């Protein structure tokens, strides 16, 4: 445990900025993680609109370039991005999202593009002393406003100081040389953590009560407009599509964020779509988050950041739905 | 008609099977937004909870087209009965555009008009609430046409949380309706049209470099989630030439022939072509319901783009979208003097 004076934080960040350092910044009226020094830094932020997954898994990235020659196609894989990065100030839910994405990208064989960025990135989290949004529900999915899942180090705001805790070896490395924190600061942080826990209302998610044929999916899907905000902004969603950009002669293959909420996502080569309507697509999101991922990895693919609740233009609320699923299953 | 009489009427229509379902607003879990609710004869009790308030932000006309697009299981026939829905002034203009473009027939819809003096912008309201209230749970929050209240104490005036589009709205009363929830409200004064284009004029006065910088900054935020397109009641194409996201059941041959005009890559050029193309496709059609801007998760000022196009159309043709359903859509027709004009585009 280390102690960082807020006045000295900038020195610390400047030292970290020799690598590419991402900090929460005010961009227009939303918060976004940007490279240190390019925007006004904002450490009183609630949470960034787009989760930090975009730093390791960008909205679009080139996989390889191709060009046709008389002797055949020449394929040039894109160079791996080995830039060393530090993300400072990520919220615990978003960090847990990275851990969920790791599980998917590190299945055999590991994804080289993601791997290159991931292993070169150090994530320093910032605990929520007060859960930032009315829609926050991290404690209901087994996390907390100060959970360290997916982080290398955790900072806690103590007013005029930060308490810094290293979680992994990488975290130990970058916190080296800081002052040891006195006992009372550690105690104060613990109190703040417990207080934040109490602020959140918990509800129980019972995925065994989820009925594939229940009426609720149809009912909720009626309202859905299929925009996909819930998945694009989800810290743990990692689906992508691969598009050819260019012509058959010359071009590149690009990986782009994709969502199960679009019909084109599940359309098959024959033209058949196993998820033809909103009902199937909305249901897919819920089953993927709370059932399939649980069966496969032993945890929910949801980190309770509440973005999908807060930003849904038609107010489809996972909390409400999972509560009524549980009640219906009783 | 009063609210209660309206609810009785809606219930009767549903019980008698005269309408397939009714789309209205209900109180949801988001305190800054009344959410859409579909009521059919299966959940008639919901009629009592229908809400007509300043939180009714969504444009429900979208759901008419959504219902059309639904793929039915083999052997199930499409229910051709009309759909009932609530329309505000802006929404009713979307209905007129759909009528003009032969997407629907007037008898396909039963319109409950909601004369409206402005709705709340959920994004603004949320920001204000987070700033001025230290609470986490918005249970004791109340929003009405007077402003925002916590425990009865006013924390914001209505002006502060009113949606931008409503502040310059020219058609508060539904231009098409079968019934009205309450009496028509006073239409805005004539100077609102001047006010309407204030922001645009300000933007137009910028130098080309400044304009480019502005859009460069705004459009590089875009993550291409296509929510602006998917929430738009007038972006009803079964398949969008700017995004392949809505590709539906087609044969492999057909699928291979699909052309995407704009790359889906998230970079400035592709983002720019996507948004500019969309603005062109909405020229003379956009009714400024503001849904795109409201739903945009990264707060791109999309209305500026569409209002600019709207202003150009108004100044060139003195045409406003969605006012008269019998009028030809402005950009699909030529006036006699235009045909002779040598400077004419075609």
Q: Is residue B166 included in any domain, yes or no? A: no
Is there a single domain that holds both residue B199 and residue B251? yes
Q: Is residue B83 included in any domain, yes or no? A: yes
Q: Do A314 and B36 touch (CB under 8 A)?
A: yes
Q: Which residue(s) pair with B157 in the sheet?
A: B147
* Count of positions (residues) in chain B: 346
Q: How many Cα atoms within 13 Å fall on the side-chain side of residue B193?
A: 9
| CB–CB contacts below 8 A, A to B | 150
The dihedrals phi and psi of A123, each to the nearest 5 degrees, come to -105, 120
Q: Do A276 and B35 touch (CB under 8 A)?
A: no
Is there a single domain that holds both residue B183 and residue B193? no
ipTM: 0.90
Is there a single domain that holds both residue B181 and residue B147? no
Residues A165 and B76: their CA atoms lie apart, in Å, by 61
CB-based burial label for B132 (10 Å; 0-12, 13-18, 19+): exposed
Closest CA to A174 of A115, A234, A123: A123
Is there a single domain that holds both residue B262 and residue B332? yes
Residues whose CB falls within 8 Å of the CB of residue B108, separated by 6 or more in sequence, listed in order: B64, B82, B83
Residue A319 near chain B (CB below 8 Å)? yes
Q: Given this model, what pLDDT does residue B192 score?
A: 76
| CA distances from residue B30 to A244, A277, B137, B237, B300 in whole angstroms, order as listed | 40, 25, 11, 30, 22
Residues A8 and A1: their CA atoms lie apart, in Å, by 17
Tally of domains in chain B: 3
Closest CA to B124 of B93, B166, B173, B152: B166
Residues A33 and A87: their CA atoms lie apart, in Å, by 8
| CA distances from residue A50 to B3, B187, B225 in whole angstroms, order as listed | 41, 40, 12
Closest CA to B232 of B193, B265, B275, B200: B275
Q: What is the DSSP string of A208-258?
A: GG--TT-HHHHHHHHH-----HHHHT-TT---EEEEEEE-SSEEEEEEEE-
Q: Do B225 and A60 touch (CB under 8 A)?
A: no
**Average pLDDT value for residue range B79-101:** 95
First to last CA, chain B: 50
Q: Given this model, what pLDDT does residue B346 score?
A: 45
Residue pLDDT, tens place only, A203-225: 999 989 999 999 999 988 999 99
The dihedrals phi and psi of B333, each to the nearest 5 degrees, come to -135, 155
Q: What are the structure tokens assigned to B146, written together?
A: 């007077």
Q: Do B230 and A201 touch (CB under 8 A)?
A: no
Closest CA to A311 of B33, B232, B236: B33
Q: Do B266 and A28 touch (CB under 8 A)?
A: no
The C-alpha of A216 sits at a distance from chain B's nearest C-alpha, in angstroms, of 12
**H helices of B141-282, where?**
158-161, 164-167, 191-196, 198-204, 208-219, 227-230, 252-256, 268-281
Chain B residues with beta carbon closer than 8 angstroms to that of A59:
223-224, 266
State which residue of chain A sits closest to B136, comparing Cα positions: A134
- By DSSP bridging, strand A153-157 and strand A161-166 are antiparallel
Q: What is the DSSP string of A133-185?
A: STT--GGGGT--TT--TT-SEEEEE-SSEEEEEE-SHHHHHHHTTPEEPPHHH
Chain B residues with beta carbon closer than 8 angstroms to that of A273:
71, 248-249
Do A78 and A62 form a contact (C-beta atoms < 8 A)?
A: yes
State which residue of chain A sits closest to B61, comparing Cα positions: A225
Residues A48 and A50: their CA atoms lie apart, in Å, by 6
Residue-range domain boundaries for chain A? 2-57+81-199, 207-237+260-329
- By DSSP bridging, strand B147-150 and strand B153-157 are antiparallel
Per-residue pLDDT of chain A (330 residues; tens, 9 = 90+): 899 999 999 999 999 999 999 999 998 889 999 999 999 999 999 999 999 999 999 999 999 999 999 999 999 999 999 999 999 999 999 999 999 999 999 998 999 999 999 999 999 999 999 999 999 999 999 999 999 999 999 999 999 999 999 999 999 999 998 999 999 999 999 999 999 999 998 999 998 999 999 999 998 899 999 999 999 999 999 999 888 888 889 999 999 999 999 988 888 878 788 998 999 999 999 999 999 999 999 999 999 999 999 999 999 999 999 999 998 876
Kindly tell me if the per-residue pLDDT of B217 is higher than 70.
Answer: yes
Q: Do A267 and B249 touch (CB under 8 A)?
A: yes
Residue A242 near chain B (CB below 8 Å)? no
> Which chain A residues in 119-178 lie under 8 Å from chain B, judged by CB atoms?
130-131, 134-136
Q: How confident is the model at residue B244 (pLDDT cuts 50, 70, 90)?
A: confident
CATH code, residues A207-237+260-329: 1.10.1060
Do A186 and A303 form a contact (C-beta atoms < 8 A)?
A: no
Q: Do B246 and A228 touch (CB under 8 A)?
A: no
Is there a single domain that holds both residue B218 and residue B330? yes
Q: Given this model, what pLDDT does residue A248 score?
A: 83
Is there a single domain that holds both residue B36 and residue B133? no
Query: What is the SS3 assignment for A14?
Result: helix
Structure-model confidence comparison of residues B104 and B140, the more confident one: B104
CB-based burial label for B79 (10 Å; 0-12, 13-18, 19+): exposed
State which residue of chain A sits closest to B252, comparing Cα positions: A270
Q: Do B297 and A49 touch (CB under 8 A)?
A: yes
Q: Do A229 and B297 touch (CB under 8 A)?
A: yes
Average pLDDT over all residues of chain B: 89
Residues B117 and B107: their CA atoms lie apart, in Å, by 27
Kindly tell me if the per-residue pLDDT of B188 is higher than 70.
Answer: yes
Chain A residues with beta carbon closer than 8 angstroms to that of B264:
60, 241, 243, 245, 254, 256
State which residue of chain A sits closest to B239, comparing Cα positions: A264
Do B156 and B148 form a contact (C-beta atoms < 8 A)?
A: yes
Chain B residues with beta carbon closer than 8 angstroms to that of A131:
136
Chain A residues with beta carbon closer than 8 angstroms to that of B137:
134, 201
Is there a single domain that holds both residue B33 and residue B178? yes
Q: Is residue B146 included in any domain, yes or no? A: yes
Q: Do A222 and B244 touch (CB under 8 A)?
A: no
Closest CA to B56 of B97, B93, B28, B80: B28
Is there a single domain that holds both residue B196 and residue B345? yes
Residues whose CB falls within 8 Å of the CB of residue B103, separated by 6 or more in sequence, listed in order: B65, B236
Chain A residues with beta carbon closer than 8 angstroms to that of B29:
309, 315, 317, 319-320
Q: Given this model, what pLDDT does residue A109 score?
A: 92
Is there a single domain that holds both residue B212 and residue B304? yes
* Count of positions (residues) in chain A: 330
Is there a single domain that holds both residue B47 and residue B146? no
Residues B129 and B125: their CA atoms lie apart, in Å, by 6
Kindly tell me if the per-residue pLDDT of B180 is higher than 90.
Answer: yes
Q: Identify which of B126, B225, B250 has the shortest CB distance to residue A228.
A: B225
- What domain range is B319 assigned to? 189-346
């Amino acid at each position: 445990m280390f102690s960082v004076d807020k006045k000295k934080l900038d020195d610390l960040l400047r030292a970290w900025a020799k690598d590419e350092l991402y900090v929460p910044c005010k961009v227009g009226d939303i918060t976004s993680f940007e490279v240190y020094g390019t925007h006004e830094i904002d450490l009183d932020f609630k949470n960034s609109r787009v989760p930090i997954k975009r730093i390791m898994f960008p909205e679009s990235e080139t996989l390889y370039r191709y060009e046709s020659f008389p002797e055949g196609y020449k394929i040039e894989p894109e160079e791996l991005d080995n830039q060393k990065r530090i993300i400072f100030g990520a919220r615990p839910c978003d960090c847990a999202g990275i851990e969920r994405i790791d599980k998917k990208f590190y299945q055999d064989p590991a994804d080289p593009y993601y791997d290159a960025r991931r292993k070169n990135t150090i994530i320093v989290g910032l605990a929520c002393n007060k859960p930032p949004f009315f829609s926050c529900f991290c404690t209901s999915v087994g996390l907390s406003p100060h959970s360290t899942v997916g982080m290398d180090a955790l900072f806690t705001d103590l007013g005029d100081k930060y308490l810094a805790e290293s979680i992994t070896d990488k975290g130990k490395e970058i916190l080296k040389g800081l002052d040891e924190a006195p006992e009372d600061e550690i105690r104060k942080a613990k109190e703040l953590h417990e207080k934040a826990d109490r602020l959140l209302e918990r509800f129980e998610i019972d995925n065994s009560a989820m009925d594939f044929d229940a009426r609720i999916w149809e009912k909720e899907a009626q309202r859905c407009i299929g925009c996909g905000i819930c998945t694009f902004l989800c810290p743990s969603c990692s689906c992508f599509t691969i598009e050819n950009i260019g012509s058959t002669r010359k071009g590149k293959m690009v990986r782009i964020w994709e969502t199960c909420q679009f019909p084109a996502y599940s359309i098959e080569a024959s033209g058949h779509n196993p998820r033809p309507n909103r009902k199937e697509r909305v249901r897919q999101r819920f089953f993927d988050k709370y059932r399939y991922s649980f069966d496969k990895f032993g945890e929910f693919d949801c980190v309770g950041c509440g973005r999908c609740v807060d930003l849904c233009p038609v107010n489809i609320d996972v909390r409400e739905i999972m509560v009524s699923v549980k009640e219906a299953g009783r | 008609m009063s609210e209660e009489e309206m609810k009785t009427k809606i219930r009767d229509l549903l019980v008698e099977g005269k309408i397939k379902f009714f789309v209205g607003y209900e109180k949801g879990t988001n305190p800054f937004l009344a959410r859409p609710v579909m009521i059919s004869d299966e959940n008639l009790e919901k009629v009592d909870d229908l809400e007509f308030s300043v939180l009714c932000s969504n444009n429900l006309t979208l759901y008419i087209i959504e219902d059309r697009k639904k793929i039915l299981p083999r052997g199930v026939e499409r229910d051709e009965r009309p759909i009932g829905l609530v329309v505000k002034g802006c929404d009713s203009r979307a209905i007129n555009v759909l009528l003009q473009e032969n997407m629907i027939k007037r008898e396909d819809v039963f319109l409950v008009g909601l004369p409206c003096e402005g709705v709340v912008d959920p994004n603004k309201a949320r920001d204000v609430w987070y700033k001025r209230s230290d609470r986490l749970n918005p249970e004791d929050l109340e929003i009405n046409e007077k402003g925002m209240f916590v425990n009865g104490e006013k924390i914001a005036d209505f002006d502060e949380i009113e949606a931008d589009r409503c502040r310059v709205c020219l058609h508060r009363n539904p231009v098409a309706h079968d019934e009205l929830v309450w009496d028509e409200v006073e239409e805005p004064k004539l100077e609102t049209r001047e006010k309407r284009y204030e922001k645009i004029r300000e933007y137009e006065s910028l130098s080309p470099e400044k304009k480019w910088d502005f859009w460069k900054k705004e459009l590089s935020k875009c993550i291409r989630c296509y929510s602006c397109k998917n929430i738009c009641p007038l972006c009803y194409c079964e398949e969008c030439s700017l995004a392949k996201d809505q590709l539906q059941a087609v044969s492999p041959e057909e699928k291979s022939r699909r052309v995407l005009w704009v790359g889906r890559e998230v970079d400035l050029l592709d983002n720019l072509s996507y948004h500019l193309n969309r603005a062109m496709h909405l020229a003379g059609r956009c009714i400024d319901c503001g849904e795109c801007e409201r739903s945009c998760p990264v707060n791109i000022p999309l209305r500026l783009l569409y209002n600019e196009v709207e202003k150009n159309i108004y100044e060139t043709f003195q045409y406003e979208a969605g006012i008269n359903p019998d009028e030809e859509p402005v950009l699909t027709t030529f006036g006699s003097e235009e045909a002779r004009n040598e400077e004419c585009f075609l």
